[in-house]
Chains A and B, each alone.
Chain A
Amino acid sequence: MRPVSIIGVGMIPFGKYPEKDTADLAWPAIKQAMEDAGTDRDDIGIAYCGSVYGGMMIGQRTLTRLGMTGKPIINVENACSSSSSAFHQAHMAVASGAYDVALVFGVDKLSQFGGGTIPLVDEDWEISQGMLMPALYAMRACRYMHETGLTTEQLAGVSVKARAMGAHNPDAQFQKEISLEEVMNARPIADPFTLLHCCPTGDGAAAAVICAGDVAHKFEAAPIKILASDLCTGTYLTGYRDMTVPEITVRGASEAYEEAGVGPEDIDVAEIHDAFTIAELLYYEAFGFCGRGEAIRLLEDGVTSIGGAKPVNPSGGLLSKGHPVGATGIAQITEITRQLRGSCGARQVEGARTGLAHATGGGAMGMDHGACSIHILQR
């Protein structure tokens, strides 16, 4: 396997575009990433598309608009990890030597459902019994609060921090700060979550161009190195399971750190999967940014805010930037790439050299999550 670098990224501002086709959400992000990379269409050897609700051949339907046909196009569905899983596949395709340059993008249009919780597959017995993603995360919160003494008010602080970060991101779905009272007093969804503990539904697309490390300089003066590309699946259990320790992310983090040759202390900036407030805290601990039960201290001490020692979700995260599920993984990688380039303006993490992106999801009975993909990048 050979080194691989990111040479271009792009995304459209996340939001609601009910009048657009899914494919029309995606092509502007791809064009932006291609221009950012300085690649021509003929440079791309293979393309991957991550999407959950884009439907059959969403990759092909998108790339026909850009006249990028003939080469292999592969569609990847892995719930919230769809485009990060696609990125993992693209990385393998280039690292193996099979292709020199690959395009990977993610897109989804949740506005087609008109709001509410995302549709799940009711062949799964728990889902047939009414399991909803907010309920799943809410039970994690319930148990974590029971075991550690975390309060609902403290939990609400995660959203306040996310919105404060997103306020500086022109690509975020929400670009306005909110108060603790607004989070606490929003309408209830699944206790202890009010609406503002939950990521919004929305539409979006993001794209990246990756390239073999030894030819990256032809396109980009300062390519971003991919130190680790990890993908794993939750361990299936029929019995008891500790919902306060997300085993899939703990395992993935361990694999990614080993592959990259770095540890949690080396991560300067991270984009992690904060689909609901509790997730951000569980993942601080899963990534080893702090010990068990200490996550709220990191948040309240400002360690994970811009200017802190370990900024997390400077883009605003899923809670503020938005979570068009299939687009999320590449949008996180786009943010980390821009952070490592130093091009993030008011939300820039000064001097960031090594960053991490983490997308996990998929409600599946007996698993913490269906999929988890972690990437560690370095300038």
Chain B
Amino acid sequence: MAMDQRAGHLEPGHVIAGDAGLHLKGGACASCGALAFPKPAICSGCLSEDIADAPLAGGGVLYAYSVIHVGRRPDLPYAVGYVDLADGVRVFTELTRTDGLCPDMKVAIEISPEAEGYRFNAAPVEAV
């Protein structure tokens, strides 16, 4: 499948159940505490291989976005952006809508089951 047709799909290994439902599964270094997503096999900060599963924050702010009009997806246009999660991790994600977007707006990460994994994106939680 073309890479831009897989956008928004998460393999099961990238999701973890937490207090507030499903979360992106990051890795927290047991040695230095560094947090990263996706969960790495080795900490790029201190080289420890002792990395614990870490449910990432369910929301944050939209750092920047773009509405994409090209590619092989059937549902053009769609929007992507970088979300700065409340715990310090930045995640590249699709957004739930293409209008009414603005940098620094609050967004929530939404994860829901779909075939062979999960669907995920970020939804604005306030009007511009």
Contact = CB atoms under 8 A, between A and B. Distances in A.
Contacts of A149: none
A116 B68 CA distance: 13
A361 B104 CA distance: 27
A191 B66 contact: yes
A142 to B, nearest CB: 4
A188 B103 contact: no
Nearest to A135: B66
Contacts of A190: 66-70
Given A129-B93, A132-B4, A143 B34 contact: no
B7 A142 contact: no
Contacts of A126: 92
B3 A122 contact: yes
Contact of B71 (A117, A188, A192, A240): A117
A293 to B, nearest CB: 16
Contact of A238 (B4, B7, B44, B104): B44
Given A122-B3, A129-B7, A139-B65, A146 B70 contact: no
Interface in A69-127: 116-117, 120, 122, 125-127
Contacts of B65: 139, 142
B81 interface: yes
Interface residues of A, number: 35
B111 interface: no
A126 B7 CA distance: 9
Given A139-B82, A187-B69, A129 B64 contact: no
A154 interface: no
Interface in A164-218: 187-193
B103 A142 contact: yes
A131 B90 CA distance: 14
Nearest to A130: B7
Contacts, number: 97
B69 A189 contact: yes
B117 interface: no
B3 A191 contact: no
B12 interface: no
A163 interface: no
Contacts of B37: 238
B66 A238 contact: no
A140 B81 CA distance: 11
B118 interface: no
B21 interface: no
A240 B81 CA distance: 13
A79 B102 CA distance: 31
A128 B1 CA distance: 10
Contacts of A142: 64-66, 103
A117 B70 contact: yes
Nearest to A192: B66
B57 interface: no
Contact of B4 (A130, A192, A241, A365): A130
19 contacts: A116-B70, A125-B38, A129-B94, A130-B6, A131-B92, A139-B66, A139-B82, A143-B103, A146-B102, A146-B103, A188-B67, A188-B77, A191-B67, A191-B69, A236-B44, A238-B89, A238-B90, A240-B84, A365-B92
Interface of B: 3-4, 6-8, 34-38, 44, 63-71, 77, 80-82, 84, 88-90, 92-94, 102-104
Top 9 A-B residue pairs of the complex, sorted by shortest distance between their CB atoms: A130-B7, A138-B66, A139-B64, A143-B64, A238-B36, A146-B103, A191-B67, A188-B69, A142-B64
